[in-house]
Structure 1
Amino acid sequence: MNRNKVLVGILTIVLVFILLAGCGKPAPAATEVEIVESPADESNSKDMGEYGKQAETSGVPSPISGIYTEPENISRRPIAVMLDNQSKARPQAGLDQAEIVYEALAEGGITRYMAIFLMNEPESIGPVRSARPYFIEKALEYDALYVHVGGSPQAFIDLKELKVADIDAMSRDGSIFWRKNHKKAPHNMYTSTNALRKAAQNSGYKAEGDFSSFAFNIEDTDINGRQVSSIEIPYFKDYHPSFQYNVEDKKYDRYINGKPHLDEISQTHLQAKNIIIQKCDTEVIDSVGRLEMTVTGTGTGYFITNGKMIEITWEKKARKGRTKYYDENGKEIRLNPGVTWVELIPMKLENVFQ
């Protein structure tokens, strides 16, 4: 099979951040998404188990990932954890067991993750970091326990007004959150799913979630789109995530600044079965560089799986509603069973596509 990669396009999303006078943090540079063509994959293998490697289906599919597991693993409430992605915080623990991970800009050009856990219960998750409003809106889509350490002023307002099941390290003891010595504060706050469920019980939060799930294919299914082998999203300076298609696994290996993105504990190379790139109106709102990112409403983006990409539109009718993604025919997309990474990227009307 010819593996030579042919460049088919560079999708450039330009966002100019105007910082207020006196702000000491730089504005992010233009963000571009580079998509490189890959040879057609003639494989028609099934991909139904945990992260696509289970030999046969058993149990029930997770509403978060479509991966089959035992019923007791999904009869509980999802957990959404904010994770630090500054260079001193890397590598993170627990990402290898997340079923969905969201990445978006915070202030100063850095990005932050929100990992969603349901069927798996990692014993170490971190470093945990602060809340932002647009991440809260995404967590609400799963009726999740929302886990963080502090937050922006607007985030605190939203947590109260939206009645979020809030688990904040600032108001919890050392049995729920703890600092590790191998990293320096504030990049060393950790927790576990067992500790978080204990905290939820202590707070009287309901034990089960109430949310609508994504639509999943029963069998691993190709989409009728452009063939892609490489995706790069250079948010800013040291925040350049990329994905390289692994033909053998039929998944995308994830990289940070050109190096494999590994889990801190397992040293597993993180992979994505599905990648959603969601373009959002974004603007700087204060002198610290905090952002307002519009994730409720409508917009456009891209869906990538099995080495192919299609253009999509997205719609979220209410802050607590689920984001729905549609293909060019207006049909809601179906994800393949497996891990999904959602990249929330800024956009302006003057986007240039080449």
Structure 2
Amino acid sequence: MRHRAPTRRTALTAALTAAVLTASLTAGCTRHGTTDDNRAPARRSTTTPTPDRQNTSGSVLAVKIDNVSAARPQTGLDSADVVYAEQVEGGLSRLMAVYATKLPEVIGPVRSARESDLELLRQFDHPTLAFSGAQRKLLPLIDKAPLLPETPGRTSAAFYRGTDHPAPHNLYLRPAELLPETPGRAALTTGFRYGPAPAGGTAASARTVRYPAARFTFTWSADRHRWLVSMDGTPARTTAGTRLAAATVVVQYVRVTTSTYHDVLGNYTPYTETVGTGKAEVLRDGRSFEATWSRQEDTDGTTFTGADGSPLDFADGQVWVVFAKA
């Protein structure tokens, strides 16, 4: 299995860091306080946004969603086109939901961003990223990344505190305050292909992916023709009680390294490398298919090919991508 060289990530971070050196020095004096998860909030800029940083109806909305047990059930997750699951500090998991074809009234609970998000989101054209805050030293990189950051400190009308979960697991987003309309399927520049099920594969009834302190299980339902989602051994449901279900599940084996950022307890944030190539497992229609994933540049989507080298099509509907350590 071949992965991209570590220097690619280093070059990306170095370029962003160089571009914001002055801003970083200023940020250390002008950003005060932390979010309720002890991460610095992103404040509204006092400068006029450049045209390529303004929100447009042609861009997807990505939302960082809390995924500890106290944050469940989540709201609006069933409306996402793609749900990415990644490992964070302490071996726990966090989700990033991407919306392009449907916007629910409410999404959440919303939590903080990670360094890996910047690389993952480069596949989209100036996406909007909704999050609660970030590690203070990461904020300048987010500010200069080709995306539109949205936090309670920037657009307060879009966020509110709910009463169904305890703080800090109760921050919610009204997406209509950020996007005037859905951008449509064309904005999903993920590289995914959709179509009839390929030949071959092996019958599969369930698949579990484990992190040190979290796990995801996907169980095939012939009645719903979907993979039912469970998290940490508990069936995952919406706030309305509907079981979360995916049309396609991707277990993508990636290189996971240690970033330079950590939480207040000193736990370093895992960095999930999503540029390169590696092995994957694609679940659809009650079957499992061995695959190879490839993303040569951070501005590219990710392609998946089957064992015979042919493109592997996904089933139409919501896709879950779980990043697993190679």
TM range (shorter): 0.7 to 0.9
* Counterpart-to-counterpart distance in 2, 1:152 and 1:97: 28
Does structure 2 retain, via aligned residues, the 8 Å contact 1:78–1:209? no
Does structure 2 retain, via aligned residues, the 8 Å contact 1:93–1:125? yes
Partner residue, 1:259: 234
Does structure 2 retain, via aligned residues, the 8 Å contact 1:133–1:154? no
Partner residue, 2:279: 300
Partner residue, 1:241: 216
Partner residue, 1:146: 129
- Alignment RMSD (CA, Å): 2.5
The 5 Å alignment of 1:148-167 reads: 148-153=131-136, 155-167=138-150
Equivalent residue of 2:178, what SS? helix
Partner residue, 2:243: 269
Equivalent residue of 1:170, what SS? coil
The 5 Å alignment of 1:17-166 reads: 76-143=58-125, 144-153=127-136, 155-166=138-149
1:213 and 1:104, CA in 2 relative to 1: closer, same or farther beyond 3 A? closer
Q: Structure 2: which 5+ runs fail to align?
A: 1-56, 260-264
Aligned length: 263
Moved more, 328-337 or 281-290: 281-290
Does structure 2 retain, via aligned residues, the 8 Å contact 1:214–1:335? no
Deviations 1:91-128 (A, max 9, x none): 11001111110001111111000111112111110010
Moved more, 220-229 or 179-188: 220-229
Give the residue type in structure 1 aligned to 2:154. S
User: In the TM superposition, what is the alpha-carbon distance from 1:216 to its structure 2 partner?
Assistant: 3.9
Partner residue, 1:39: none
User: In the TM superposition, what is the alpha-carbon distance from 1:145 to its structure 2 partner?
Assistant: 1.2
Equivalent residue of 2:63, what SS? strand
Does structure 1 retain, via aligned residues, the 8 Å contact 2:100–2:185? no
Equivalent in 207, 225, 234 of residue 250 of structure 1: 225
Does structure 2 retain, via aligned residues, the 8 Å contact 1:110–1:236? yes
Partner residue, 1:227: 203
Equivalent in 278, 281, 294 of residue 255 of structure 2: 281
* Counterpart-to-counterpart distance in 2, 1:272 and 1:224: 21
Quick check: 1:345 aligned with 2:324? yes
Percent identity over paired residues: 25
Q: Structure 1: which 5+ runs fail to align?
A: 1-74, 200-206, 348-354
* Counterpart-to-counterpart distance in 1, 2:132 and 2:284: 33
* Counterpart-to-counterpart distance in 2, 1:217 and 1:182: 37
Give the residue type in structure 2 aligned to 1:267. G
* Counterpart-to-counterpart distance in 2, 1:118 and 1:316: 21
Give the residue type in structure 2 aligned to 1:141. Q
User: In the TM superposition, what is the alpha-carbon distance from 1:192 to its structure 2 partner?
Assistant: 1.8
Equivalent in 204, 208, 212 of residue 189 of structure 2: 212
* Counterpart-to-counterpart distance in 2, 1:331 and 1:134: 29
Give the residue type in structure 2 aligned to 1:322. G
Does structure 2 retain, via aligned residues, the 8 Å contact 1:104–1:112? yes
1:250 and 1:303, CA in 2 relative to 1: closer, same or farther beyond 3 A? same
Equivalent residue of 1:330, what SS? coil
Equivalent residue of 1:96, what SS? helix
1:213 and 1:181, CA in 2 relative to 1: closer, same or farther beyond 3 A? closer
Partner residue, 1:186: 168
* Counterpart-to-counterpart distance in 2, 1:282 and 1:153: 22
Does structure 1 retain, via aligned residues, the 8 Å contact 2:63–2:129? yes
User: In the TM superposition, what is the alpha-carbon distance from 1:154 to its structure 2 partner?
Assistant: 6.2
User: In the TM superposition, what is the alpha-carbon distance from 1:250 to its structure 2 partner?
Assistant: 2.1
Partner residue, 2:31: none
Q: TM-score under structure 1 normalisation?
A: 0.68
User: In the TM superposition, what is the alpha-carbon distance from 1:153 to its structure 2 partner?
Assistant: 4.9
* Counterpart-to-counterpart distance in 2, 1:332 and 1:180: 44
User: In the TM superposition, what is the alpha-carbon distance from 1:342 to its structure 2 partner?
Assistant: 0.2
Moved more, 319-328 or 269-278: 319-328
Larger relative helix fraction: 2
Equivalent in 161, 169, 174 of residue 152 of structure 2: 169
Partner residue, 2:288: 309
Does structure 2 retain, via aligned residues, the 8 Å contact 1:222–1:308? no
* Counterpart-to-counterpart distance in 2, 1:283 and 1:212: 26
Q: TM-score under structure 2 normalisation?
A: 0.74
